[in-house]
Chain A
Amino acid sequence: MPRIIRNGSVVDDDWQLLRLPEGETAASVVLPAGPVLLPLAVWLARRDEVIAYHDRIGVWLDSDEGPEMLAGDIDRFAVIGVNFPKFTDGRSYSSARLLRERHRYAGEIRAIGDVLQDQLFYMRRCGIDAYALRADKDPEKALAGLSVFSESYQAAVDQPLPLFQRRNAVEPA
């Protein structure tokens, strides 16, 4: 069973990631049994069917697909994946923050794709709490990437107050 990082430790994970195979369409692809992260297009095309036949529903957003596309349904998802086609494509950091801060999504946000140790800290700050490391990487080793810095200047999902709000609270004027 694949292993991922979730809530700061490496765990077994039974979610399958569905990527549309070449030649398949969202309408025609066979949905695997069990918990599955569906491409957004499949979710949009077959929403009612998915709701009817799946207990736990997951979806994943590519880096050019915004969380707005899930609006209204956000609380149905047990897991929302955010894809990093290349680790240098930073769009999914914004998607994760929007899911948490604007859409108030409280379920798991999972980084998928080109997920590497040196980006985990920023991902965590943006509200991503599960990480499916790239297949050739060791998730145990990558854990170190979650705790590189002990403080942060900016407000983000993990720390909703910027440092200046907290610094002023303790520092005498």
Chain B
Amino acid sequence: MYRYDSTDQQLIDQRVAQYRDQIVRHFAGELSTDELRPLRLQNGLYIQRHGPMLRIAIPYGVLAAAQLRKLAEISRRYDRGVGHFTTRQNMQLNWPKFEETPDILGELASVQMHAVQTSGNCIRNITSDHFAGIAPDELTDPRPYCELLRQWSTFHPEFAFLPRKFKIAVNAAAEDRAVIRVHDIGLDLVRGDDGDIGFRVFVGGGLGRTPMLGKLVRDFLPRRHLLSYLEAILRLYNRYGRRDNMYKARIKILVQALGVEEFRRQIEAEWCELRDGPTTVPDAEFERMVRHFAPPAWENLPAVDLMHTSRLRADKAFASWVRRCVHAHKTTGYAAVTLSLKAPGVPPGDISDAQMIAVADLAERFSFGEVRVSHEQNLVLADVRQSDLYEVWQIARSHRLATANVGLLTDMICCPGGDLCALANARSAPIAEAVQQKFDDLDYLYDIGDISLNLSGCMNSCGHHHVANIGILGVDKNDEEWYQITIGGQQGNAATIGKVIGPSFYAMEVPEVIGALIDVYLEQRTAGERFIDTLQRIGVEPFKARAYAGRDRRRTAKIENAEREVVNA
């Protein structure tokens, strides 16, 4: 992984000093609450329902074991011993003390971490594939490009006060695991006609109130031009993105208003002025970055470990875990392991300090000391020997990190919701828990098979409900929590925005409604069909009919009209 040199470290140390001084000046009355707000946000600090929340950056989801240990220590010392992994591969602490945040940032800096630009109207953490560098379907490792972008975007002087937040994701695999088309800029690493590496560039994706998939603005951008091309896009957005209405301020609205043809023309015109300038990235810099992500010392191993094979036969629970949580690795004899953070009764993405230590230990013993965070809010050990899987499973299981539900209905993406988040209209964790309770039988879950169920507590859509096969959105009406259901969304190469099935449901109805949707699938599916396949074949209507069968919607009719206004605002 990337290791700071003295300059990187100095910059982060200076950032901590700057923030510490800002907090001092704030307490001295020299920096008002309004003046401090964007500054603290760009250091990850929100003021939430119960107090502050600190969002710590985990660049493209890569963590060293030592960093995870530090997070455990920080969560124990400055918080309540729990961290929450987000869909942007970051970690949130929900109970830090405002006045201690400079110390927390100082602690982070001691292990080459920070909370820079994890919030605010600036370029946020760059996200990528959690299987980067080991995926068999990968063209090249995306992480060197992510790190290049991290450095370029860090304290970028021109783009620190954009109209709104700006998210960039990078994919380099045949199957997009980074949902690049729901980002402001999605970068897809591809090989050009002459064999050179470059990017397909998508702009204007995003979820939130107005979900949209990014539009292709360039088929092939040679990699040396990456930064100048992005500067052209960001400059257009900075200058012409709407600033009068925060709900219309994302770049997707600008792209939509101009039309993709015109937007592309404007990018090219601006880029014409910038290309081949000093920001052109020389091969030497790519090589320097690539060296930071040199593969670990993989051993020459047999393709099949006989002991592993016999354990798979002998132990059904182990076999189930392997089926759901162990993934192909490009190197013979190795596998990637997902440690599920979706155990029953635990808010999705939450991890205790003891679990963090356990994962750090596992990483050090079995996976070259490195951990990945997936945008699905799980952790990944990327380089585990097949022969070690059984032991990894046993240890992970003893820490409740081996729920064999990855890719299944209970592997929900879920935001912290109204229990913690000041923006949320409704709680999400209790709904997730109710769904977990209804679907607590693993065999039933295996029978249902691959499906995505995502949950957001408000229209900001942190829980990615728009791109789930079944999406749940919390809405608040007359101080009651209601939940709107979308179906048919997908992430990956076939990324699709789901469709709302109709009036929203009362909280206690949600598990039954999910059950009704699942029943339709189980009754209608043909051999080998996943939920999404059946839905696409038979259409939304049968699902909708079953979801509302026997439910009186009169009560919500008025509410729904109001909701539609919000949605379309």
**A93 and B5 alpha carbons, distance in the complex (Å):** 29
Asked if A167 meets B239 with Cβ closer than 8 Å, knowing A116-B35, A148-B14, A155-B279, the reply is: no
* B11→A154 contact, CB < 8 A: no
Asked if A149 meets B155 with Cβ closer than 8 Å, knowing A87-B161, A89-B243, the reply is: yes
5 interchain residue pairs of minimum CB distance: A90-B161, A125-B157, A122-B157, A164-B285, A153-B151
* B157→A162 contact, CB < 8 A: no
Asked if A93 meets B158 with Cβ closer than 8 Å, knowing A116-B35, A118-B22, the reply is: yes
Apart from A141-B30, A160-B278, A168-B285, list 7 A-B contacts with CB within 8 A. Answer: A87-B38, A87-B161, A123-B157, A149-B155, A151-B11, A162-B227, A168-B288
* A155→B243 contact, CB < 8 A: no
* B284→A97 contact, CB < 8 A: no
B310 within 8 A of A: no
B210 within 8 A of A: no
Quote the shortest CB–CB distance from B341 to chain A (angstroms): 33
* Nearest B residue to A166, CB-CB: B7
A161 within 8 A of B: yes
Q: Which of B121, B152, B161, B238 contacts A154 (CB 8 A)?
A: B152
* A154→B14 contact, CB < 8 A: no
**A123 and B279 alpha carbons, distance in the complex (Å):** 19
* B10→A150 contact, CB < 8 A: yes
Q: Which residues from B are CB-within-8-Å of A152?
A: 155, 157
* B158→A88 contact, CB < 8 A: no
Write out, one digit per residue, whether chain A residues 66-102 have a CB within 8 A of any chain B CB (1) or not (0): 1000000000000000000001111101100100001
Q: Which residues from A are CB-within-8-Å of B22?
A: 118
**A154 and B14 alpha carbons, distance in the complex (Å):** 17
Q: Which residues from B are CB-within-8-Å of A168?
A: 282, 284-285, 288
Q: Which residues from A are CB-within-8-Å of B278?
A: 155, 160-162, 165
A171 within 8 A of B: yes
* A149→B161 contact, CB < 8 A: no
B18 within 8 A of A: yes
* Nearest B residue to A102, CB-CB: B273
* B158→A164 contact, CB < 8 A: no
* A90→B238 contact, CB < 8 A: yes
**A171 and B287 alpha carbons, distance in the complex (Å):** 13
A30 within 8 A of B: no
* B160→A122 contact, CB < 8 A: yes
Binding site for A on B (CB under 8 A): 5, 7, 10-11, 14-15, 18, 21-22, 30-31, 35, 38-39, 121, 148, 151-152, 154-162, 227, 235, 238-239, 243, 273, 277-279, 281-282, 284-285, 287-288
Interface centre among B10, B35, B157 (most CB of A within 10 A): B157
* A173→B284 contact, CB < 8 A: yes
Chosen A-B contacts, 9 in total, with CB atoms closer than 8 Å, are A87-B161, A91-B238, A93-B161, A118-B22, A119-B161, A153-B156, A161-B278, A163-B151, A168-B285
* Nearest B residue to A138, CB-CB: B30
Interface residues on chain A, size class: 35 or more
Asked if A66 meets B288 with Cβ closer than 8 Å, knowing A156-B158, A163-B151, the reply is: no
Q: Which residues from B are CB-within-8-Å of A156?
A: 157-158
Q: Which residues from A are CB-within-8-Å of B5?
A: 167
A121 within 8 A of B: yes
* B155→A90 contact, CB < 8 A: no
* A126→B157 contact, CB < 8 A: yes
Quote the shortest CB–CB distance from B452 to chain A (angstroms): 36
Quote the shortest CB–CB distance from A161 to chain B (angstroms): 5
Q: Which residues from B are CB-within-8-Å of A144?
A: 21
Q: Which residues from A are CB-within-8-Å of B162?
A: 90
Q: Which residues from B are CB-within-8-Å of A150?
A: 10, 14
Interface centre among B21, B227, B278, B281 (most CB of A within 10 A): B278
Asked if A148 meets B10 with Cβ closer than 8 Å, knowing A90-B160, A164-B281, the reply is: no
**A150 and B11 alpha carbons, distance in the complex (Å):** 7
Write out, one digit per residue, whether chain A residues 128-154 have a CB within 8 A of any chain B CB (1) or not (0): 000000000000010010001111111
* Nearest B residue to A134, CB-CB: B35
* A66→B157 contact, CB < 8 A: no
Quote the shortest CB–CB distance from B343 to chain A (angstroms): 40
**A122 and B160 alpha carbons, distance in the complex (Å):** 8
**A59 and B426 alpha carbons, distance in the complex (Å):** 51
Q: Which residues from B are CB-within-8-Å of A163?
A: 7, 151
Q: Which residues from B are CB-within-8-Å of A164?
A: 148, 151, 281-282, 285, 288
* B157→A118 contact, CB < 8 A: no
* A148→B158 contact, CB < 8 A: no
Q: Which residues from B are CB-within-8-Å of A173?
A: 284, 287
* B158→A126 contact, CB < 8 A: yes
Quote the shortest CB–CB distance from B362 to chain A (angstroms): 34
Q: Which residues from A are CB-within-8-Å of B156?
A: 153-154
**A102 and B273 alpha carbons, distance in the complex (Å):** 8
**A12 and B350 alpha carbons, distance in the complex (Å):** 56
* B288→A171 contact, CB < 8 A: yes
* A153→B288 contact, CB < 8 A: no
Quote the shortest CB–CB distance from A66 to chain B (angstroms): 7
Quote the shortest CB–CB distance from A63 to chain B (angstroms): 9
